[in-house]
Amino acid sequence: MKWRLREDRAAQSLLNKLIRSNLVDTTNQVEVLQRDPTSPLYSVKSFEELRLKPQLLQGVYAMGFNRPSKIQENALPMMLAEPPQNLIAQSQSGTGKTAAFVLAMLSRVEPGNKYPQCLCLSPTYELALQTGKVIEQMGKFYPELKLAYAVRGNKLERGQKISEQIVIGTPGTVLDWCSKLKFIDPKKIKVFVLDEADVMIATQGHQDQSIRIQRMLPKDCQMLLFSATFEDSVWKFAQKVVPDPNIIKLKREEETLDTIKQYYVLCNNRDEKFQALCNIYGAITIAQAMIFCHTRKTAGWLAAELSKEGHQVALLSGEMMVEQRAAVIERFREGKEKVLVTTNVCARGIDVEQVSVVINFDLPVDKDGNPDNETYLHRIGRTGRFGKRGLAINMVDSKHSMNILNRIQEHFNKKINKLDTDDLDEIEKITN
C-alpha cells in the first residue's frame, strides 16, 4: 500500500508536468517569512528588474514568459540576492517553482568552468528529465552549458570527473557520485536544489541520502527547497537540509460547493446504477463529464459497458503508463471525448477546468469505509475564480452508501436532492 502511494505521488507530479501548458493563476497572497526581518522585502514585477545576464533574459523570453508569476515575484529577488540566501518555498504544482530555481541556477553558474557547480535533486528519473528540459530551454543561449543526469543506469568510468556544470539526479546516485565514486567534488557546488520535497520524503531512504549530500556541501552553498505541500514531515525535513532559510508560502485556492447543484440517484445495485447513468447520459454529455469509480475494475467495466452502448468514452486507469495517462487527459481536455471514466487515485491532483458534470458512480470513502469529505470536495468543488456552475450526481446503491451520503451532507451542511432518472423533465431542468 505504502509503495503504491509513493508511486502515485511521483506519477501524479509527472502527469501534472506533462499535461500542463500554462501557469496556474491564483489570487491568494504570498506569505513571506524573512530570515532577517529587518531587511527590506523586494518584489519584482518584471524580469528586467532582476538584472539577469542578457543570455538568460533572452532564454526567459524565448520560453514565452512575460512577467514573473506570483511566487516568482518574491522568490526571485531572494534567490538572486548577494550574498546568496537560502529558501524554502511551498506552492501548488504549476505556480512557477521549477522555472524559478532553474533561473537561479543559471544565473549563478559559470559556463566557462568545466565542473559541476549546481546540483539538483529530484525524486525520480522521469521528474529529473522534466527539470532537465526546462534547464535546456532556459539555458539555450549559453552554448557552453552542459547538463549531466545522475540517475541509476547512467554509468561512468571509475576515476572520471564530470565536466558538466549542472548535475540533476536522484538522491542515491548523486550520493554515490559525490562520495564513493567521486565524480563530483561537492565542495565546488554553489547552488543546491531539492525539488519536490514532499514526493521525495515519501520514498524510503531519500531523506537520509539528501541530508548526507547536503552535509558534504560548503557552508556558503545556496540551498533551496521546494514542495507542493507542507505537512509536518516535509517541514521537519526542510529545516534539516536548509539552514537559516527565508520561507515563502502560497496557499492553494479554497474550493467550495456553493455553485454546485448536487443530486443523488437511488439504485439497488451496480446494474441499476449503470441503467440510471444511461438514462441521463444524453443530458450530461451536453457538457464534459467525469465519472468516478472506486476501483480500477469497476472503471474498466463501466467504460466497456458504455462503449457497448455506443458511447464514446475515455478511460483513465492506474495500469496505464504515465505518458499514456497524460495522452488520455490531453485528448479529454481538447474535447475529443466528452466523458472520462476514472478512479480517484488516478485523477487526484488533476484539474480539468471545463468539466461541469461530475458523477460519483461510487461515493468516495477512505480505507476504513468512512466518507472521504476532502476527496468529495476536491472532485466536485470549484475555486472562486473558476466559479462556473456545476452539477454533481451521486449514485447510491445500498443502505451503507446512503449513510455515507448523509454524512457528506451533514459535513458540508448542504442538501443533496434526490433525482429520479426516469423523469425526463426533471433531468432537463437540472442540466439547464
Ligand X SMILES: Nc1ncnc2c1ncn2[C@@H]1O[C@H](COP(=O)(O)OP(=O)(O)OP(=O)(O)O)[C@@H](O)[C@H]1O
For position 23 contacting ligand X by CB under 6 A, the verdict is yes
Q: Which is nearer to ligand X, 99 or 225 (CB)?
A: 99
For position 17 contacting ligand X by CB under 6 A, the verdict is yes
CB of 195 to ligand X, least distance (A): 7
For position 132 contacting ligand X by CB under 6 A, the verdict is no
CB of 211 to ligand X, least distance (A): 22
Q: Which is nearer to ligand X, 212 or 249 (CB)?
A: 249
Query: Contact at 8 Å (CB) between 120 and 166?
Result: yes
CB of 16 to ligand X, least distance (A): 5
Question: What is the spatial distance between Cα 177 and Cα 167, in angstroms, rounded to a whole number?
Answer: 10
Return the residue of 96, 132, 186, 364 that touches ligand X, per CB under 6 A.
96
For position 95 contacting ligand X by CB under 6 A, the verdict is yes
Question: What is the spatial distance between Cα 364 and Cα 371, in angstroms, rounded to a whole number?
Answer: 6
DSSP run (H or E) holding 147: strand 147-150
CB of 378 to ligand X, least distance (A): 17
Question: What is the spatial distance between Cα 122 and Cα 38, in angstroms, rounded to a whole number?
Answer: 34
DSSP code string of 166-191: EEEE-HHHHHHHHTTS-SS-GGG--E
CB of 125 to ligand X, least distance (A): 16
For position 97 contacting ligand X by CB under 6 A, the verdict is yes
Q: What angle do CA 290, 294, 300 make, to 5 degrees?
A: 70
Please give the backbone phi and psi of residue 263, each rounded to the nearest 5 degrees, phi first.
-135, 165
Report how many residues bind ligand X under the rule CB under 6 A: 17
Three cell numbers at 320? 496505464
Query: Contact at 8 Å (CB) between 190 and 196?
Result: no
Question: What is the spatial distance between Cα 181 and Cα 158, in angstroms, rounded to a whole number?
Answer: 7
Return the residue of 26, 90, 98, 342 that touches ligand X, per CB under 6 A.
98
> Near ligand X by CB under 6 A, which window of 91-99, 103-111, 360-368, 389-397?
91-99
Distances (CA, A) of 414 to 259, 261, 362: 11, 10, 19
Q: Which is nearer to ligand X, 385 or 400 (CB)?
A: 385
> Near ligand X by CB under 6 A, which window of 95-103, 209-217, 293-301, 386-394?
95-103
Question: What is the spatial distance between Cα 410 and Cα 369, in angstroms, rounded to a whole number?
Answer: 17
Distance of CA 140 to the CA centre of its chain: 26
For position 99 contacting ligand X by CB under 6 A, the verdict is yes
Q: Is 414 helix (H, G, I), strand (E, B) or coil?
A: coil
Q: Which is nearer to ligand X, 102 or 267 (CB)?
A: 102
Q: Which is nearer to ligand X, 175 or 193 (CB)?
A: 193
Q: Which is nearer to ligand X, 14 or 293 (CB)?
A: 14
Q: Is 21 helix (H, G, I), strand (E, B) or coil?
A: coil
Binding mask 43-72 for ligand X (x = CB under 6 A): --------------------x-x--xx--x
Query: Contact at 8 Å (CB) between 346 and 318?
Result: yes
Which conformational region is residue 103 in: left (phi greater than 0), alpha (psi within -120 to 50 degrees), or beta?
A: alpha
For position 93 contacting ligand X by CB under 6 A, the verdict is yes
For position 20 contacting ligand X by CB under 6 A, the verdict is yes
CB of 305 to ligand X, least distance (A): 35
Question: What is the spatial distance between Cα 211 and Cα 214, in angstroms, rounded to a whole number?
Answer: 5
Residue 306 amino acid letter:
L
Q: Which is nearer to ligand X, 16 or 124 (CB)?
A: 16
Three cell numbers at 370? 468512512
Q: Which is nearer to ligand X, 126 or 420 (CB)?
A: 126
Query: Contact at 8 Å (CB) between 421 and 427?
Result: yes
CB of 241 to ligand X, least distance (A): 18
CB of 282 to ligand X, least distance (A): 37
b/e map of 62-75 (b: 16 or more CB within 10 Å)? eeebeebbbbbbbb
For position 117 contacting ligand X by CB under 6 A, the verdict is no
CB of 194 to ligand X, least distance (A): 13
Q: In what order do the strands lie in the sheet with 191-194?
A: 30-33, 245-250, 86-90, 222-227, 191-194, 118-121, 166-169, 147-150
Q: Which is nearer to ligand X, 130 or 375 (CB)?
A: 130
CB of 2 to ligand X, least distance (A): 23
Binding site for ligand X (CB under 6 A): 16-17, 20, 22-23, 63, 65, 68-69, 72, 93-99
